[in-house]
């Protein structure tokens, strides 16, 4: 395997958690809910999945625990923003602060433990194709799953009736409510889906990407995933492209650090964050303001009868 091939493989690994988390957030935002708790949900997914995987010595249990942890945080968020119609930005931040703290509590006994690599799902025959074999046909289940999820979310939002209902609720919840569409129920499910995705993305981080758990290991990936949704103008296809651009930037900056060009390592570490700001800026330069923003995004819904 050449170095170049290895770099391409790590780019896939770095991009997958961003892609999964962004897709979940995209669905929640399309329903009109801004979930800033993503970072905390990812952190909870990472620590709970790692704790479960080590305790039961099972990756599958770990993944299940990660999804449940993300879903639990999402349910908490949903009760506050849907049930009480509390401010979404503030509540999301609170969930992030809470999740980062709680994940630290849960993960503390597992600092220092390691997991074995998850076996890739090699597709017989095809994986032996030179150069592209490993890249396209030798990935783990998460990677294939994330691509399938992108297609599924795209089809759901663009082709399914339920997706149309979800989008119309996100565009204008007052009109949707007047038409008898279930605003709160749809949003509740969308938030749960977003949380489960964030939990899965966190599980991928601790079980596949690093294979250990350390405090603060999400390192702002939840926030980058949020930015990706804006960058993608709320379209799943562009989330996929954006996640891979960001994954590539992260990996290349790590390789640049290892190569020691004489540039301070901190400058290279700042690349993903600088790139996020730059991406948001370029997008706004091209379109004036962020296009595709769901009309009711972030507005609490209190039915007016």
Partner 1 sequence: MRFELTPRASISALWRALAPVLAFITAFLIAGLVIWLMGRSPLAAFQVYVTQPLSDPWALQEILVKATPLALIAIGLSYCFRANLWNIGAEGQYVVGAVLGSWIALRTHGTDAGLWVLPAILLAGIIGGALYGLIPAFLKTRFGVNEILTSLMLVYIAQLILDYLVRGPWRDPKGFNFPQSVTFDPAATLPPIFEAGRVHYGFVFALIAVLVTAVILGRTLFGYRLRLSGDAPRAARFAGFNSKTTTLAVFGISGGLAGLAGMSEVTGQIGQLQPSISPGYGFTAITVAFLGRLNPIGILVAALVVSLTFIGGESAQIMLKLPLDLTQAFQGILLLCVLSADALVSNRIRFVVRGGAK
Taking the mean position of all CA atoms in its chain, how far away is CA 156?
18
Q: Does 96 bind partner 1 (CB under 8 A)?
A: yes
Residues 102-131: x/- map of binding to partner 1 (CB under 8 A)? xxxx--x-----------------------
Residues 151-190: x/- map of binding to partner 1 (CB under 8 A)? ----------------------------------------
Q: From the CB of 232, what's the least distance to partner 1, in Å?
A: 13
Q: Which stretch binds partner 1 (CB under 8 A): 1-9, 141-149, 248-256, 279-287?
A: 279-287
Q: Does 289 bind partner 1 (CB under 8 A)?
A: yes
Dist CA 71 CA 76 (whole Å): 9
Let me know if 37 is exposed, middle or buried by CB neighbors in 10 A (0-12, 13-18, 19+).
Answer: buried
Q: What is the 3-state secondary structure (H, E, C) of 41-98?
A: HHHHHHHHHHHHHHHHCCHHHHHHHHHHHHHHHHHHHHHHHHHCCCCHHHHHHHHHHH
Taking the least distance from each CB to partner 1, the nearer of 121 and 280 is 280
Taking the least distance from each CB to partner 1, the nearer of 49 and 91 is 91
Q: Does 299 bind partner 1 (CB under 8 A)?
A: no
Q: From the CB of 257, what's the least distance to partner 1, in Å?
A: 12
Q: Does 86 bind partner 1 (CB under 8 A)?
A: yes
Residue with tokens 């996100």: 170
Residues 20-59: x/- map of binding to partner 1 (CB under 8 A)? ----------------x---x-------------------
- Sites for partner 1 among residues 214-273 (CB under 8 A): 215, 219-220, 223, 226-227, 230, 264, 266-267, 269-270, 273
Tell me phi and psi for residue 64, to 5 degrees. Answer: -60, -45
Dist CA 39 CA 216 (whole Å): 10
Tokens of 120: 């890739």
SS3 154: helix
Q: From the CB of 282, what's the least distance to partner 1, in Å?
A: 9
Q: Which stretch binds partner 1 (CB under 8 A): 89-97, 152-160, 166-174, 194-202?
A: 89-97
Cβ neighbors of 73 (< 8 A, separation 6 or more) are 37, 40, 41, 44, 95, 98, 99, 195, 198, 199
Q: Does 84 bind partner 1 (CB under 8 A)?
A: yes
Q: Does 292 bind partner 1 (CB under 8 A)?
A: no
Dist CA 83 CA 9 (whole Å): 43
- Which helix (DSSP H) or strand (DSSP E) does residue 17 occupy? helix 3-30
Q: From the CB of 134, what's the least distance to partner 1, in Å?
A: 33
Give how many residues touch partner 1 by CB under 8 A. 54
Tokens of 37: 């708790």
Q: From the CB of 55, what's the least distance to partner 1, in Å?
A: 16
Q: Does 133 bind partner 1 (CB under 8 A)?
A: no
Q: From the CB of 62, what's the least distance to partner 1, in Å?
A: 21
Say if CB 251 and CB 50 are below 8 A apart: no
Q: Which residue from 61, 164, 256, 280 is in contact with partner 1, where contact means CB under 8 A?
A: 280
Instruction: Tell me the H-state helices in 79-219.
Output: 88-107, 132-137, 141-159, 161-171, 173-178, 183-204
């Amino acid at each position: 395997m050449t170095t170049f091939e290895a770099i391409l493989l790590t780019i896939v690994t770095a991009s997958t958690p961003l892609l999964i988390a962004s897709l979940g957030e995209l669905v929640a935002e399309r329903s009109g809910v801004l979930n800033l708790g993503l970072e905390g949900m990812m952190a909870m997914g990472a620590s709970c999945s790692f704790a479960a995987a080590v305790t039961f010595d099972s990756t599958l249990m770990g993944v299940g625990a990660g999804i449940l942890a993300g879903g639990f945080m999402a349910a908490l968020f949903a009760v506050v923003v849907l049930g009480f119609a509390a401010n979404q930005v503030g509540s999301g931040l609170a969930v992030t602060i809470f999740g980062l703290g709680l994940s630290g509590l849960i993960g503390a006994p597992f600092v220092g433990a390691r997991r074995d690599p998850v076996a890739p799902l090699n597709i017989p025959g095809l994986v032996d194709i030179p150069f592209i074999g490993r890249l396209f046909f030798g990935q783990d289940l998460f990677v294939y799953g994330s691509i399938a999820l992108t297609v599924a979310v795209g089809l759901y939002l663009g082709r399914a009736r339920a997706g149309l209902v979800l989008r119309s609720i996100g565009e204008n919840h007052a009109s949707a409510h007047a038409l008898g569409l279930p605003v709160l129920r749809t949003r509740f499910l969308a938030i749960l889906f977003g949380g489960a995705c964030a939990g899965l993305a966190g599980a991928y981080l601790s079980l596949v990407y690093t294979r250990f758990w350390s405090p603060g290991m999400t390192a702002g990936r939840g926030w980058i995933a949020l930015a990706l949704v804006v960058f993608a103008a709320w379209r799943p296809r562009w989330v996929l492209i954006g996640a891979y651009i960001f994954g590539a930037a992260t990996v290349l900056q790590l390789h640049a650090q290892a190569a020691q060009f004489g540039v301070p390592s901190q400058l290279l570490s700042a690349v993903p964050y600088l790139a996020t700001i730059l991406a948001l800026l370029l997008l706004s330069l091209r379109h004036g303001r962020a296009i595709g923003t769901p009309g009711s995004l972030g507005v609490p819904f209190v039915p007016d009868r």
